[in-house]
A and B are shown apart, each in its own frame.
Chain A
Amino acid sequence: MVTDRGPVARLLQVWLPVGFFLVLALFPFYWMAITSIKPDSELYNRHLMPLLVHNPTLEHYVNLLTQTNFLLWTWNTMLVAVVATAISLVFGTMLAYPLARMRFAGAGLIAMTVAAIYLVPQPLLFLPLADVINRLGLGNTLTSVMLTYPTMLVPFCAWLLLGYFKTVPKDLEEAARIDGASRVQTMRQIFLPLCTPGFISAGIFAFTLSQNEFLYALIFLTKSSVRTVPVGVITELIRGDVFYWGQLMAAALLGSIPVALIYSFFVDHYVAGLTSGSVKG
């Protein structure tokens, strides 16, 4: 489809549409960044040109980190995301491996059930789950979200890993079996090391989805000390009708950085997982 029709045609055909989508996608982040370093006198002055900053300041960041629990929320969010991701990868593998490799009655049914659970929307579950969490005495503990995030992540990881596992050739496992290895040995020592790229894809998705989760954290975590970043930002940085926009944008930017960093390291794995057609839109 590539035709060389000179720089003007190329500009119109390639850079105009691509540039349009880039500006659309990135402007909110530019706006976050520039707002977070503007002093209040510039933020709330309607006579200044808004797209530039005249006297950059770090006061919003300093206030955010010293006067709020933002660092604690960040720690909570990381801890929950790591634990929930680990649980989801282990359970996901325990579901996906038999489905990918073994023949047994009911395999089709289990695969269907796992896919269906993945499609159960969160709002359908939050009211009964809130009751369950309360009865277990887990309200206001990070355990509550470490346990409930995997309810969406386990089916998701299982589904993504199942697709990946099926692409791995069986020869090595069959050779190991003939040499007398047990099923568990074959799986752990031969099969799983071959699947690292699949685990990275599933892990990044699970991690980003954990960082993004809001509904369960909003309901289960009502004490400031156990909140995650999204819930903390919404419930504590927005105080009544007063908006501290500089601080809010600093929080939005800092809160996005962990995900963006991890994503930038593994972007190819991420895209590979995305295009396997199993991700939420």
Chain B
Amino acid sequence: MTAWMPLPANLHLPDRCHRLTLPAEARLDPAALPAEGDLLVVELQPEAAPAPLQLASGRLTTLYPGDRVLALTGRHFSSLGQRCAVARRGESLHLLGRDGLVGAEARGGGLTAVRLLGRVCDGQGQPLRLPELAASTGRAPATVLGVVSAARGARAGTTLMQLLRGLAQLGLDSAVARPLGLIDGGERWALIEAGAREVVDAADVGCLDGEHDSGDCLRGRAQRQLAALAASGAPIGLLRLAGGLGLPALRRLLLEPGAAALSQGLVVCASDALCAVEAVRQLRAVGHPVLAVSGAITRSPLARREAEAELDLPVLAASELAAPSTLSILLGDLPEWRSPPQRLAA
């Protein structure tokens, strides 16, 4: 017989749960063994240092020992080197970052020690899950552009943000999907403020970790995300392809035959010329149209010149890339935008 407990009254809901409406009858099973995708209630350990948490409401709060948080558990691997396994009873558990993700065997920066209070279940006693995007067969937005990190630290996030702003200046609605990895609460809000009509990440398609998934599986999830972007009404979908092209999962997603169908064009972000040239070479080898190079490389006039000497592509700072005049040209090169060009001029 399960000894159900009510949810704590002062429970913090992290941004990770922003699509979740907690049912009034939700309760806690303190004896359950957590499984991938479960929502858990955890409490900061007495020795935990104060830790930030991005709330579902958008506010950034600070957690202190004894505070309780609704957290998602699963096997997770981030492009920044954070990783964890599914939370296990009796083991040392940590919150990762400030986004409400909890796991065992946690590694990386920004870890906060917590203890497990129980698994959250609905009124029927079934484990409560985050709502997933529908298994849609809908179409992707009319135009899909990708922003690819050739390497970590290439400032692809900045480029994406600027692209969003540039598109907004042109009066074009856009939305963002991250097929691999998670978009933390702070970044989600920043994307929304930059003009994204919708922001979805891997957790929205039931995946915390694409580390061991096949390329087909990853692309299938990306298509699901793109359908959600289209359903939001955005004519332009932007794919955030983070982690660096050394990341095996990103390579499977982007560098297998057929991967070029994901988007109409890619912007490659790199931190040096050699990396930029190699990324462009590998992406083109499987048919991806590469539109431009951007990212950290453009902070260095010399590195930029090195890349320009090797590539038949514009190498543009994020602000240049997002300038309406440049965006008009880039989008004008896409088949979807060639007719009628007045659409951009407007």
Partners in one complex: no
Interface residues of B, Cβ cutoff 8 Å to A: none
Interface residues of A, Cβ cutoff 8 Å to B: none
